Structures are given as structure tokens and as C-alpha cells.
Amino acid sequence: MVAPFRRIKHLGNGFYGSVELEYDEGLNRPCAAKYITHAAFSEVDFTEAQAMELGKHDNVVSVFSTDVENGTPVIRMEYMEDGSVADRYKQDAAPVRDAVLIVEAACRGIAHIHTVGLLHRDIKPANLLLDRTHIVKVSDFGLACEKVEPEGGSGFPYFPHLPPESIKDGTRTVTTVQGDVYALGLTAYRLLNSDRRVRPKLETNSAIPAADAWMPYIHRSLRTAVSKALHPDPAKRIQSASDFRHALEKTRPQVNWRSFTNNTHSNSRHAWQGSALDGTEWRAEVSRRSTDFQFTVERCLPAKAWRAQNNDKQTFQTEAAALRYGATVLQRIAGQGG
């Protein structure tokens, strides 16, 4: 008899154990198999799988089956071909529109999870998975708990994403819907600004969001929406995942900026590239000249040549001044399209 599951490759390790890519010979489909070997979770308890089934949604990874193999609990679930959002962007910032759409999708999944009475407690880029069509789905329900458990759930949530109110007496965690909203906000903040900028703030307990960590092209309405999701006072924070999604939808940029390395001009100090939904392309940079710094921006309409936007061209004595001015132009273009 052919074994029902054929192991293809190892996908990764986590706090709980390991994940393997397997092929279900009976149903002719791949699956991700989570082998739970950590002592804290190794009892035959499929609470995580039950939470995934209860939270079934287009933006939540589907659970296929549970099993016990040689005493080890196994949860088999939907295999997401493109891996996690963290894998895709590494420590780099995602293009602005991409980051907004990713978090909007996560908000849909988390909002549904909340409606069925659960909290996720482990929202972060590594737990947002992508399929080949780039659909975003929330994964990893190992720390999920019921909303009625203010200090419930097994284990501690993802520590860097804990909201300020979450720690009591240094030992207990307060688990709320607003805590999940905070984690969604911090996920957005990381994707928009890159972990190179944000992680040092998380590790040194600096103010979040930190003013000096925003990418210069992040427009003000988007900064405001994310900042409201990260408010240190839970009563003043955006109150639900749905509300955060609605706030993000209103801030989708007209021009999708991202940082890039400009290999054309060796004197370029900072460079950005942008695209609009109508096919218009943008590029901008701060370049160093012999005695000053210059900000320039160009636009390329569909099927046209690049043209300098001379009204926005300015020269400054310091790089900091050029960057401050450039930020206002980039944000205006992001919000207004020109």
C-alpha cells in the first residue's frame, strides 16, 4: 500500500517543531505538514487546528487534517507556494501599495477570526503567507485563544509585537482585540519602512512609530492610519481590524513608491522609483554635486519619453535639507498622483 503522504522537502523550523512539504497521494495535492514536537505543545491537543477550522476564511490558511504519527501531533494544511511576506521582502521595505494591500488582506482574515470569538496573538510578516496568485492568508494559530480569556492562551504572544498595555507585573499578558490591531499596525509599519529601520527601534524600546523611521515617501494619511493602530493607549487606538482595513483603503497611494539603487548616476545619494495604476512611471533622487545637493524628479507617461519635472527641482546646501524637501514632493505625488 502506498503511503498516504510523501515527504518532498523541509520547509522550516519554529518554536513548536517543524514544517514539511508533503504530497497527499490520496487527494493528489501538496500540503504543509506541521509536526508539533515542542514539549509545551506536544500533548495530543489540536486546539490550533480547531481554531483554523473555526476561523475558515479566504484570507486564512485552510486546515486539511489532523493526525498523530509515532506520538507526534501533525496538522496538515494548505501549502502556500510563495512562502511568507517576510520571506519575500527580507529586511527591505515593500512598495507602498503592496504593503497596504497585504495588510488589508490580513485585516480581513483577522476580522473574521475575531467575529468567531478568537484572538490570533501572533500577527507578523512571517505569519502572512502568499500563494502563486499573491493572495495573502493568515497562518500559525499556535497561540490563538478565545476572546473571553483576558490573560488566556498557551505561551506568550510574539514579544516584539506586544502592545504597551500587554504586560502586567512583568509576567502576564493581557489579550484583547486591540492587541491584535496593534500587531497589524506594527506589521504595516515594518513592511512600509523595512526592518533595517524598524527593528532597532523594537529592540531598544524606542517610541513606535518613530518619526525618524518612516520612509520619506510615505504620505501623511497613511502614516496617520498606521500611527492610530499603534496608539499606546488602547482606548484611543483603532478599535477593530475592520476599522483599520477601512482606514488603509482610504490611503492607497496614487503612485507606488519604493527605494532603489540608481546605478546610472554614481553621485546619487538617495533614489526612489514609483509607478501609477495608469502605467505612468516616476523616478526621483537626491544627488551630490561639487558644493551642494540637488533633488530632481522625472515622469514617464505610457509610451512616452522621460521628462524632468522642473517645477520640483531644487538645490540645497545640505543633504538633510534636500531630503526634507524631497519627502514633501514624494508624498504629494503619492497622495495626488502628481
Residue appearing with cell numbers 514536537 = 37
Q: Are 226 and 99 in contact (CB under 8 A)?
A: no
Give the range among 166-175, 219-228, 240-249 with minimum mean pLDDT: 166-175
pLDDT of residue 17: 80
Question: What does the mean pLDDT of the chain come to?
Answer: 87
How far is it, in rounded angstroms, from Cα 277 to Cα 337? 10
Which string of DSSP letters, residue by residue, matches 26-88?
A: TTTEEEEEEEE-STTT-SS--HHHHHHHHT--TTBPPEEEEEEETTEEEEEE---TT-BHHHH
Beta bridge partners of 22: 7, 31
β-pairing, 136-138 vs 172-173, is unpaired
Question: Residue 301 has which C-alpha cell?
Answer: 507617461
Per-residue model confidence as pLDDT tens digits over 254-293: 999 999 865 454 455 699 999 999 999 999 999 998 899 9
Q: When comparing pLDDT for 3 and 53, which is higher?
A: 53
Checking if the pLDDT of 153 tops 50, the result is no
pLDDT of residue 1: 47
- Residue boundaries of the structural domains of the chain: 5-77, 85-249, 255-336
The CATH label, of 3.40.50.2300, 3.30.2310.20, 3.40.309.10, 3.30.200.20, for the domain at 5-77 is 3.30.200.20
DSSP helix/strand/coil, 314 = strand
Per-residue model confidence as pLDDT tens digits over 48-93: 888 888 888 999 999 999 898 888 889 999 999 999 999 999 999 9
Q: Are 114 and 56 in contact (CB under 8 A)?
A: no
pLDDT of residue 152: 46
212 pLDDT tier (thresholds 50, 70, 90): confident
The verdict on whether omega for the bond into residue 209 sits within 30 degrees of 0, i.e. cis, is: yes
Checking if the pLDDT of 110 tops 80, the result is yes
Q: Is the dihedral of CA 247, 184, 235, 112 positive or negative?
A: positive
In CATH, the architecture of 85-249 is Orthogonal Bundle (1.10)
Checking if the pLDDT of 100 tops 90, the result is yes
pLDDT of residue 172: 56
Q: Are 265 and 283 in contact (CB under 8 A)?
A: no
